[in-house]
Structure 1
Amino acid sequence: MRDLQTLHRILQELDGQGYGGYKRLKGMYDLGDFRLSVDHVQVDPYAPPSKVRAIFTREALALPPGSADSREQRIAAADFLARGFLAAVTARQRGAGGSPRSSRAAPRGRWGHDSGADESRAITAYPCGQEVIERSTVVISGEHVEVRFEVGLPAAGRRVKGRSADRILTKALPEVLLSSLAPGHRDDDALIAHVELYLDQLALRDSLAERDLVAFVGDGAILPRRSGDSALPLERGAVPFESPQSLRVAVDLPSGRRVTGMGVPSGITVIVGGGYHGKSTLLAALSGGVYPHIGGDGREWVLTREDAVAIRAEDGRAVTGVDISPFITGLPTGVDTRAFTTTNASGSTSQAANLVEALETGTSAVLIDEDTSATNFMIRDDRMKRLIPAHKEPITPFVDRVEPMLTQTGVSTVLVAGGSGAFFDVADHVIAMESYQPRDVTREARQIAADTPLADESGTSGVNAREVPPFRARTPRIVQRNSLAPASKSKGSRARGRTEIQVGREHIDLSAVSQLVDPGQTTAIAHVIDQVGAGSGGNVALEQLASEVISRLEREGLDTLGRHAGHPGYLAAPRRQELHGAINRYRGLRLANDGDEEPAS
C-alpha cells in the first residue's frame, strides 16, 4: 500500500503528461484518516469519471452502539451516511457557485475543458431518493465502512492537470468525507433515529399479513407530492391523512412508539371519489409503500406488503409464453392463450399478462388504477353485453375475475374506480376519498349494488357467467440462458436511467414498471441479466432465477454484481418483482417451449 507522499509525488510527476498517465493512480493509498482506493481510472477526459472508494475502520468512525449490528441496521446506517456525504458534496458545489453534480444524469466529460474544470465539482456523490433501500454507495462490514463515489480527474485539453488533481484527492476529498462522516461532525442522534425509524417500518410492514391487512396508512401522513415528476412532499396546502374510525388500527412498534392509521384489509378494496380528490394519490402512496421512506417524506408510515405489485395496461410490450387464459381465451384465430407470445401486445392483452406475471412472482396483492387500465379488460357494461354476447367476446373482464382470483389464489386487490360502480358487487370494502380524506362507504356501496343490480345478456342479475379457465398452478416458464446473451451483444447490458435497459440491440422499456424507483435498481438488473446469460448452468425457471438472485444479493451484497474490482458502481437492490418484470419485457427472451405468436390485427 502506498502513502500520502507517494500520491503527492505521482500527481506532481503526471502534471502536463498525456491523460493516459492517470492510470498510474490505480491502487490503494493510506491517507491517515482513511484509505483511498482508486479502482477504475477514466480513459480520457470525456469518459465517465473514475471510480474511487474511501475506506474507514469502524473504530475510526465510532458509529453509535446498536446502530450497525444487524443487516437491517447496517442498511439504514449506510443510507444515513450516504445522505450525509451527498449533502456535503452538494453544499461544496453550491458554495463554489456551481450547480450540484450529484445526479447520475450529470453531463459526462465535463472535466476536459479548462473553463469547466472546477475542483469543487470534481467529486460526484451518488443520488439517494426518498426510499430507504440497500445501495452500493456506502457499505458497512464487520470492520470497515466504505464510501463509494466518482472523481472527474481534471485535464487541460488532453493533458493531466496533476496539481489540480492533487488538491482534489488530498485536500477537497478528505474535507468533504470528514465533515460529513467523522465523529463530532455527524449528527448521531439523527443517525440513531434514522435506524430506529427504518426498523419500526420493517416491523410494521412485516406484521401486515398476520393482521390480515394489505397496507397501512398512518394518521397525519402527507400523500400528495409537489408535482407529477417530484417525489418530494407537498408543503403548502397538503391535507394530513386521517383514518376513518371503522378502519383505524393501532400498532405498537419495537422502539416503543405506537402509530395509528387506516388498515387496508385483505380481500377486494375499491377506492372511489370525485376527480382530484386523492384516489390515485392514495394508490400511488400504497404502491410506493413496498419501500420504507425517510423521515419527513410524509409517507414514512405508509407501508404495503413487500410483494405487492402495481398493474397497468402497457400497449406494445412483448409477452413470451404467458398463460393469459384466465382472462383471454377462445380467440377467433384459434391461438392457444395458455402459452401466449406476442411482440406487440394490446392494452387488454398486456394488462392480462402483467397480472399473470405478478401472480408468478408470488405476490399477495395487486394495485390497479382504472385511469391506467384498458377499459375492455376491466369491465363490460350491460349494453355491450347485449350487443356482443359472451361467446363472441374472448376477454373476460376483470370485474368477473377479481373474486375468483381472490378465492383461488389468495391474492388481494386494491382498485381505484372513478367512473364505474361495476365493482361494488364484488368489493369487500369501499373507501371514498373526499378532499384527500378517506371515508368508509362500504355499506352505501352495497346498498346501491342491491338497488341497481347488473344484468347480463340473458337478463338475469349478476355478472357475466361465461366459463373460463380457473387460476391454476402454472407450469414454470423455462428461460433459455443464451437468449439473455445475444450474438449482437458486444458490450455488457446497461441501464439508461431508471426506465430502460439495453441488451445488445434490444431495449427493455421499463417505463410502466412504476415500483422501480431508483436508477441503481435498473443498473443492478442489467448486471443480473449479463450474469445469468453468461452462466454455465442449463436453462432455468424464471421464478427460480429471480428467487436465487435476490437471495444471493441479500446474502452476499450488491458488490457481487460489480464489473470493476473493489468498486461495483452505483447499484441499488431491486425486488424480485421488478427483476422478473424486466426479463419478461425483453423482446429477445426465449423459453424452452415457446408459445404461439399473436396474429397481426
Structure 2
Amino acid sequence: MKNKMELYETLNRINNKGYKAYKDIEGVYDFGQFTLFIDHVQSDPFAPPSRVRVRVSMKESGFEGKLFSTKERKIAFEDYISRKIYGEILKLPKLKGTGNSGVIFIDCGGQEILERTSVKIDNDFVEARISIGLPAFGRKINSKSAERIFFEFLPILVKRALTYENYDKKEAEKWVKLYEDQEYIRKILLDIGLIAFIKDGSILPRESGISDKPLKKGKVIPFISPESLRVEIELPNNGKITGMGIKKGVTLIVGGGYHGKTTLLKALERGVYNHIPGDGREFVITVKDAVKIRAEDGRRVEKVDISPFIANLPDGQDTKRFSTENASGSTSQAANIMEAVEIGTSLLLLDEDTCATNFMIRDARMQKLVAKEKEPITPFIDRVRQIYEEMGISTILVMGGSGDYFDVADCVIKMQDYRPYDVTEEARKIAFQLKTDRRVERAEGPITVTPRVIMKEGLELRGKEKIKSRDVDTLQYGGEFIELDYVEQLVDRSQTSAVGEIIRYAVKKYVDGKRTLKEIVEMVFEDIEKYGLDIISPFYGKHPGN
C-alpha cells in the first residue's frame, strides 16, 4: 500500500501530460481515515469514468452492527448509504473540463430498494464503489482538479456519508426496519393463502407517466380495502397493519376506463420489489416470482413449447418447438406465458390493454363463424383455471371488456372512482343469469412444460466483447442489442447490466449443452446467495459498482 503523498507526487509529475499517463495513479493508497483503491483508470476523458473504491474501517465509521445484522438489513442499509453518498456528491462543487472531467457518481436507486454492489458493509469495514471522471483540458491531464477530488472531495464524502455520527440515526433505522417488514410479508404470503397484499392508506398513482414518484398534487385517494377482502398482518417492527389480501386463484380487476384498474395492476407488478419510505407503495407486496405477461409483437422466440395455446398452424409449423424471428401478438404472448411457467412463476399478471385480443377470448358468435378446427389458438380463458388447478399458478387479470371471464374467476374486484369493491357475488349472479353459450375450446390433458437446454454457441459473444446496458430497456451483448422495452418489471439500468453479466457468468461456468435454462438460472442465483452479487461481475474483487 502506498502513502497518499505518493499519489500527490504522481499527480504533480503527470500534470499537462497526455491523458494515458493517468494510468500511473492506479493502486492502493493509505489516507489515514480511509483507504483509497484506484482500480481502473479510463482511457480518455470521454470514456466511462474511472473506478475507485473508498474503504473505511468499522472502528472509524462507527456504524452499529444491528443495522446490517441480517441479509435483509444489510441490503437496506447499503442502499441507504448509497443514497446518502449520492446526496452528498450533489453538494460538491462542479469542476470544469473535457468530456467526463470532474464527474463523481455512485449507483443508487429510485423508488425501489434493490440489492446492489455500490456499497459493501461487513463487520470489518464499509466500502463505497464510486466512478470518477478524471479531469482534463482537451487530452491533457488537469492534476490540480484531480487533487481536489482525491484530497478534498473524497475526505468530505467519508466524513459526511461514511461516518455514522453524521447520520440521522432514526431515519436509518426506519429504512432498515421498513425493508425487513416488507420482506416478512412477502415470505409469508403464500403460507397465508395470498399472492398479494395492499395496505390500507397506500398511495398507488404516480406523479406522471414519466415519473415513478407518488402523486401528491390534486385529488389523491388512498387505497382502502373492501371489508370482505381485508386481512390483518402483524409485522416484526411496525405492529399490526390491515389491507386487501388477494387470494390464490384467478382474480379479475374490472371497472370503467380511468377508474384505476391499470394503476392497481402496475402497483402489483412493482410489488415484487420493496419501496423506500414515503413512496406510497411501501406495503404493496406481491409474491417475488410474479411475472407481468403481455403481447410482444416482433420478439424473437427460440424453441418454446406453445402448444397448450397454439397448435395446428398452417403449413404444419411446429408449436412444440416454436421458433420465430418476428412473433405475432398471440404467439409472443403464448411464449411469454410458457417461459414464465418454465422458469417457475406462481403468479401471472395481465392487462387486457397490452394483450392480444384473439389470444384472450373467442366469444360464442366468433366460435360459430370460425370453426374450432380452423382456429389454432386456444384462448387464455380456456386455460386460466387449468393453470391454477393443475399447476398452482394464480392469475391477476385486468379485464374491462369481456364478462365471459366471470365464469372462470374466483374473485372479482371492481375499481370505481379509484376505490376497490368486491363484486364477486354480483359477477357470479350475472354469469348465471346471462348465459353466453360460449364453448370451452381447450383440448383434454395436462399442460406440459418442455424444459429447454441452453447451447453455449448460441450465447457466445460475437465481434465486440462488450456487455453494457444502454438504458433500462436496451442491453448490448457483444455486437448485438437486446431490446427489453416490454420486460416491464425491469426498473433500473443497473438491473439490465446485471442481466448481461449473469448471461456472461452462466456461459462461462454452467452452460454445457446439457443443463436446462431453469437449472442454470438456479445455479447462478445459488452462487449470488453464497458469494454476493459481486460474483457475476468481471471486476470481482475490485470494483463491480453497478
| Shared fold, TM over 0.5 | yes
Choose the corresponding residue for 2:453, options 478, 483, 490.
Answer: 478
Secondary structure in structure 2 of the residue aligned to 1:559: helix
Aligned to 2:332: 350
Q: Does 1:179 align with 2:168?
A: no
- 1:422-461 superposed matches below 5 A: 422-456=404-438
| d(CA) in 1 for partners of 2:142, 2:358 | 63
Corresponding residue of 1:25: 25
Tell me what 2:302 maps to: 320
Displacement of 1:70 in angstroms is 1.5
Q: Distance in 1 between matches of 2:487 and 2:442?
A: 32
Does the 8 Å CA contact 1:495/1:522 hold for their aligned counterparts? yes
5+ residue gaps, structure 1, are: 99-109, 457-462, 572-601
For the pair 1:196 / 2:177, whether they are aligned, the reply is yes
Deviation at 1:517, TM superposition (A): 1.2
Alignment partners' CA distance in 1, 2:463 and 2:159: 43
Distance 1:567 1:227, change over 3 A: farther
Paired amino acid for 1:483? G
Find the counterpart in structure 2 of residue 380 from structure 1: 362
| Letter of the 2:377 counterpart | I
Structure 1 match to 2:85: 85
Amino acid paired to 1:112: T
1:47 partnered with 2:47: yes
- Report the 3-state secondary structure (helix = DSSP H, G, I; strand = E; otherwise coil) of the residue aligned with 1:478: coil
Where does residue 220 of structure 1 map in the other structure? 201
> Alpha-carbon deviation of 1:141?
2.4
Does residue 564 (structure 1) correspond to residue 536 (structure 2)? The answer is: no
Residue 180 of structure 2 aligns to a residue whose secondary structure is helix
Decide whether aligned partners of structure 1 residues 511 and 53 sit closer, same or farther in structure 2, where only a CA change above 3 A counts: same
1:183/1:523 Cα in 2 relative to 1: closer, same or farther (>3 Å)?
A: same
Matched, 1:492 2:466: yes
Equivalent residue number for residue 57 of structure 1: 57
AA matched with 2:446? P
Amino acid at match of 2:98: G
What's the offset of the Cα at 1:288? 0.3
| Aligned twin of 2:222 | 240
Q: Does structure 1 residue 112 correspond to structure 2 residue 93?
A: no
Change beyond 3 A, Cα 1:80–1:328: same
Q: Secondary structure at the match of 1:320?
A: strand
Query: CA, structure 1 residues 480+160, in 2 after alignment: closer, same or farther (shift >3 Å)?
Result: same
Deviation at 1:63, TM superposition (A): 1.3
Q: What is the deviation of 1:92?
A: 2.9
Output the amino acid matched with 2:486: A
Uncovered stretches (5+) of structure 2, i.e. residues with no partner: none
1:553 match:
528
1:309 aligns with 2:291: yes
Structure 1 partner of 2:496: 522
SS at match of 1:333: helix
Task: Answer yes or no: is the 8 Å Cα contact 1:267–1:428 preserved in 2.
Answer: yes
Partners of 2:192 and 2:446 in 1: CA distance: 28
1:544 to 519, 538, 541: 519
In 1, the alpha carbon distance for the partners of 2:447 and 2:170 equals 51
How far apart in 1 are the matches of 2:540 and 2:379?
Answer: 52
| CA distance, structure 2, for counterparts of residue 348 and residue 241 of structure 1 | 34
- Which secondary structure state, in structure 2, belongs to the residue aligned with residue 241 of structure 1? coil
Q: Quick one: percent identity of the two aligned structures?
A: 44
Q: Residue 75 of structure 1 aligns to which amino acid in structure 2?
A: I
Sort the Cα spacing of 1:538 and 1:65 in 2 relative to 1 into closer, same or farther, 3 A: closer
Q: Deviations over 1:279-317 (max 9, x none)?
A: 000000001000110110000000000011110000011
Deviations 1:61-80 (A, max 9, x none): 11124111122211111011
Find out whether 1:268 has 2:250 as its counterpart: yes
Structure 1 equivalent of residue 396 of structure 2: 414
Aligned to 1:156: 137
Q: 1:77, 1:127 → 2: CA distance?
A: 12
Partner of 2:192: 211
Give 1:111 deviation, angstroms. 4.2
Aligned positions, number: 544
Q: CA 1:286 to 1:267, structure 2 compared with 1: closer, same or farther past 3 Å?
A: same
Deviation for aligned residue 1:537: 5.8
Post-superposition offset of 1:482: 2.1
Structure 1 residues 568 and 345: CA distance shift in structure 2, 3 A: farther
Give the superposition deviation at 1:470. Answer: 2.6
Contact 1:39-1:51 within 8 A present in 2 as well:
yes
Q: Which residue of 2 aligns with 1:574?
A: none
Distance 1:465 1:483 in 2: 37
Amino acid at match of 1:315: D
Q: Residue 221 and residue 76 in structure 1: after superposition, are their counterparts in 2 closer, same or farther (change >3 A)?
A: same
Secondary structure of 2:212's counterpart equals coil
Q: Secondary structure at the match of 1:196?
A: helix
